[in-house]
Amino acid sequence: MNRIILHCDLDCFYASIEIRDNPELLGKPVIIGADPKEGKGRGVVLTCSYEAREFGLHSGMPISQAYQRCPHGIYLRPHFEKYSKASKRVMQIIKKYSDKFQQVGIDESYIDVSNICFNYDEVTQLAEQIRRDIQDNVGVNLSVGCSFTKSLAKISSGIAKPNGISILKPENFKEKLKNLDITRIPGIGKKSKIHYYKKGIKKIGDIIAIPPHKMFEKFGKYGKWVWNIVNGFDNRKVKEFSKGRKSVSTERTFFTDTNNFNVIFSRIEDLNERLHDLVIRKHITYKTITLKIRFEGFETFTRSKTLPFPIQDKKKVIDIALKLYDEFSNKRKKIRLVGIKLSNLEKNLKVKQTNLISYIKA
Distance CA 315, CA 194 (A): 60
Distance CA 7, CA 305 (A): 35
Q: Where are the alpha helices (DSSP H) in the chain?
A: 13-21, 50-53, 63-69, 80-95, 120-137, 150-160, 173-177, 193-197, 204-209, 212-230, 261-281, 314-326, 356-361
Contacts 24+ apart (CB under 8 A), 111-115: 111/5, 111/6, 111/8, 111/238, 112/3, 112/4, 112/5, 112/6, 112/237, 112/238, 113/4, 113/5, 113/6, 114/1, 114/3, 114/4, 114/5, 115/274, 115/277, 115/278, 115/281
Q: Quick check: is 108 catalytic?
A: yes
The single residue of 18, 24, 38, 108 carrying the catalytic annotation is 108
Return contacts of 145-149, CB within 8 angstroms, 24+ apart: 145/6, 145/7, 145/9, 146/4, 146/5, 146/6, 146/7, 146/120, 147/5, 147/173, 148/2, 148/3, 148/4, 148/5, 148/232, 149/3, 149/5, 149/229, 149/232, 149/233, 149/234, 149/235, 149/236
3-state secondary structure of 285: strand
Q: Is the peptide bond before 162 cis (omega within 30 degrees of 0)?
A: yes
The burial class, CB within 10 Å (0-12 / 13-18 / 19+), for 16 is buried
Q: How far is it, in rounded angstroms, from Cα 339 to Cα 60?
A: 41
Catalytic residues: 108
